[in-house]
Every structure is written in C-alpha cells, then in structure tokens.
Structure 1
C-alpha cells in the first residue's frame, strides 16, 4: 500500500506537479506580502506609544535641537534599515540564500560569539517592548474607565482602580491572536493598527493646535527648559539624554525588519528593493507625524509639556472626555497589533525550542504537517 503523504509535507524537490504554484524557491509556502503590507507592518511597529513623549522630548531640547534630533534619527533609521534589508539574502539579491530572521542574518554575516551577543540583545529588546506595550495598554484602558467614572460621579471622585485586570485582559487577547499561524497572515491587523496610530496621533495633534490657538501663540524657547531654581545643570543634561533616547526609541524597528521583509513575495523585484520603498514611505510618514505631534505639543504647553501627551497632558483643560476616550481606545487597539508584530518572532523561537525539547511530539502526522515548513514568525499548534 502506498504511504500517505500530507500535502504540507510535499516540497519542490519532491517534484510534485502543483508545488510551484503555492511554494516559493525555498520550499516554503508562497509569500504574498506587498509594498503596502510591508509599509503597514513598519508603520505599526514604528508609530507606537513613543509618539506621546515627543512633546516632552522637544521641551528638554528646545525648538532648535528638538526637530533637528528628529530629522537626524529619521535619517539614521532609514540608512541603517537599508543596510539591514540587504542582508535578507546572502549572495545574489534575487536568488541568494534567504535569511528568515534577524538572527539568521547575523549568523550569515557575522557568526561566532556575535550571534549569541546579538541574540541576547534582540530578545531582551523584544521582551522589554512587550512588557512596555502591556503596561501602556493597561494605562489607556484604565484611563477610559476613569473618564467614565468622572462622567458618572463627577471630578470630585478620585476614581482609583487597579491596572492588573486590564493587563490580564490584554494578555487574553494576545493569546487569541497568537493562533494566527504566520507573520504574513496578520497584514489586516497591521493595517488596523496603523490606522489607530494615525487616529490617536491626529487627536493629539488637533488638541495641540486647539490649545496653541487658545494660548494666542506658541510657547517654548530655542534651548528648551532653562537651568534655574527648579532644574539643575545635572538634571538638564540627564533629561536631554532621556529626550534623545525617547526620540531614538520612537523610531526603532530594526529588530524585526528581517521578519517583516520575509513576508514579501518573491522577486522580481527583489525583496530588498520593495522593502526600501516601503521604508521610504514609512519613515517619511512617521517623521511628518512626529514633527507635527511633537512640535505642536511643545507649542501648546511649552516647558510644561507632559511625557504622556494624550493620556495625561490635557488633564485640567477643557477637552471632551469622549475624545480622550477615542484616543485611548485607539492606543489600545494599536498596541494589540504592535505587540503581535514585535513578539511574533519571539513566540516562534519558543516554539522551535519546545519542538526540540519535546521532539517525540513531532512523530504524529498532524504535527508533522503543521510544522514541516518551520515557523516564519507565527505561533502554530505543535
């Protein structure tokens, strides 16, 4: 009797007649990503909650150094991302060996102890971002509840609550979305998240413009917060360095760039060319939004600009609570998608480790079919 072969176990080398229609040159399921889906992934990864602290960052640096730092980090981000995009394939940019992850690219180009060093840095970064997104989303959800409490009981009620239930809720939603099998299958979630990032950024921008008009002019100074009775020279230096860090963090996405590039359909044109076009659009769009949100936030509040512009920056001002609720809800939805983008690869690493640790579980036909192509950044059933 002929041995039954699962369709998922068929490879290009096996010579299956229809394999070329649904497999790429490396024998993995055909990638379907485009310029637009890659741009959505990048915008979702870049325009995060870091945009909320840009007004505070400019307040520390002033009207000259603040916008200049944003332009500098935009250029550095694009340049370094372009170099990294060229590492997706080893050798020929269209037919060379694929590097599916950031660590594969490090292993192919650097090797040795640098692989371990870069791996520790990347995964620590991913875990840190995941924790930060969980906390930020719980703060936004708690802010929505606080606004509802104010509406019901008035501003005299402190409306205190714990963020723990909201963290648990965020985790439950992530468990649900973790069942999406592949990185290139969550393009729709990235588009929704990108729209949400533009939504709360636009609300912060509009409120900043309205507050500036109400003030009758721009606030702030060329050098930012001045050294005086409230700010020592040491604090000025420390806060300025923090401001540079906030701006740099707001642009960061290199630790998942290769994973995003691995979703783009096979050439022509080469994946690196498509990725470079996507990065140009994404970094340019991000920079425009960052400049508008950061500068208008500083113009509205000057040296008093808060580090969380939408969450707490407008406390005490005549702003409709429902508008802040929309902004906070948009932050939550965006962070749900951004969390998936940043942690999808980390989950894949955990899955691969578990598959090696409990190798006997791979003996069943169902498991073999679900993992025969490996993981390209998705949490699959074992």
Structure 2
C-alpha cells in the first residue's frame, strides 16, 4: 500500500525554501459563466453553425433526474475555464467520489498532485492552472506486478505517462516538476527571488526520470459521466460513450479499449497503438468517461483531443490536429455529426462549442 507523507514531511522541502505565503497570490474564482467581452471575429479554425441531423437511428435521449434540468438558455461559448494542461488519470473505473481526491481514502494520484500543486502546495502557482481529472481508461500493466502503478495522459501536450509507481512520492514529483510546471512564469512572478522562480519552473531533467513516456497517437473522446458529482452526467455519460463508440466504428475508426502496453524488448515500442495503425492504416480512438470538468448544467459535456498529425477523412491534415475541443449540451442525436464534422472533418460546431485549447496552451474561443 502506498502511504503519502504529510505535507510537512522532509521530501517536500528538501533543498527547497518553504512555499510562498498565500498573501502573495491573488484570490481567483473560476466560473463557468459565458465570457461576454470577447470580440467577435473570424475563428482561427473552420466552423459550421449547427450540428447536422443524424442519418440513421441513434440512442434515445435519457430523461434527466427530477429537479436537474439541462440549461438551454445560456450561450456555451466561453464556458470552459482556461487551463494550461490537463492530467487524465487512468483509473479503470466509471465513477468516483464527488471529490476525486477522496477516492481510496485519499490514497490516489489526483490527491498527490493536488498536494503539490494546490493551494499552499510547494509548487502552487495561481497563474498556472492544471486541470486534474479521472478517466475510465485502464492503466498500463506494471512491468513489476508486485508494484502498483498508475498511468496518465497529459493534454494538450499529447504525452502518455505509462508508469507512476505508487511506492514513493518521487514519481509524482517528477511528473509535476518535469511535465506540469510552466516553462515560463507569469509576469506577476517577476519580483520573486531566483530560487523561488526556479522552484516554479519546469525541469526537463526531472521529466526524464519517468520511464516509457510516449506521444499520444489516438484520438481521445472524453465524456463526463461523474454520477457521484451530478446525476445529469451520470445518466447521460454512459449513453454518449456507447453512441460515440458505435458511430466511430461505423466511420471506420478503430476503437481501442485495452490498456496501452509498453514493450521494453523492442526499443520500448508502443503496442496496441502505432503497430496496429501501421498494419490496418486506420485512425484509432479511445472513448472514456471522465470526472467533473465544470458545467454539469450543460450536460452532456464532451472533450475531443485530436493528436498532432491527424488526417481528415479525405487525407488532408485535420485543422484541429493538436487541439482539445469542448462541447456542451451534447445529445445522442449529435454524436454522428460530431464524428463526421469535428473528428473526421476538422470543423467546430458553433452551437455546441464551450471552448478549446491548442497544443502550446493557446485558448480557443469563437
């Protein structure tokens, strides 16, 4: 069993000064209300106004729980809270506690990362928002079965971390310091001492301590299904997951459900992914349920991460390659159109668009 040390344990202050006082940071509230002061201009990506009607029968829209309607009155554009990176933790489960850091009595990767990066943590930075969510994707098998390990996707960096051993905090610190911290600090930190700045900056050397890190080649379709937080997503999420899998398969996209496996004997090549794509020459996708991302009143909430280099159905570069696209109020009748227009066509559906992010951190709005 992994035992996480207390916040004052020596690991978190080894060769580092104490965390900066909270008084140095501005208090910030993230809201899912639309941002109305964004100027209207031509979007930096192709769009269509509405989602095309389905060409065949789709799953029915389930009834929402009593007293929990879906909000159709507000504009969706700008309701995605900005972030620099999103950590998708592979749990192999379809639902979680209301606060994911409470899973397994607090012994989990989300709690570990938040202990380091959250308010008062040794790497806390209110100007660098990292979103941490659980997913239903399974973790890669540990190369040492006796050691419990967790896997995670990092997007929009499009990196896969197959092994984060649950035996010490070293791997968590390497993940945060080597992959999640910024490479450049916000100007608000200009007056910090050099040692404080160094603590809050990414270290590539730390990132190299993690074994088997790979680029993500599969399209990731993430559907909020966090019933432990809000039953609107708990009811609608599994229905949308099934419909996305059905429509993607119908569009000749290979659905991957097995864990990503790392083969050390073949130069650490990624199995179940690149090899299958080379042989079958197919686009591949993973469809999973995720925990709370904000805006349950806009269920169904869907995020599409389209890896760099992804091609459209006609063989051209997908103009959304390297982007994460957030949709809200998605119903089963929308799924075929989302697959055809966004996943395979590279076009954003304006009526469903909550926001987006490009590889490198640029936030996308209409």
- Determine if the TM-score, normalized by the shorter chain, exceeds 0.5: no
More strand by proportion, 1 or 2? 2
What TM-score comes out, normalization by structure 2 length? 0.21
What TM-score comes out, normalization by structure 1 length? 0.20
Larger-Rg structure: 1
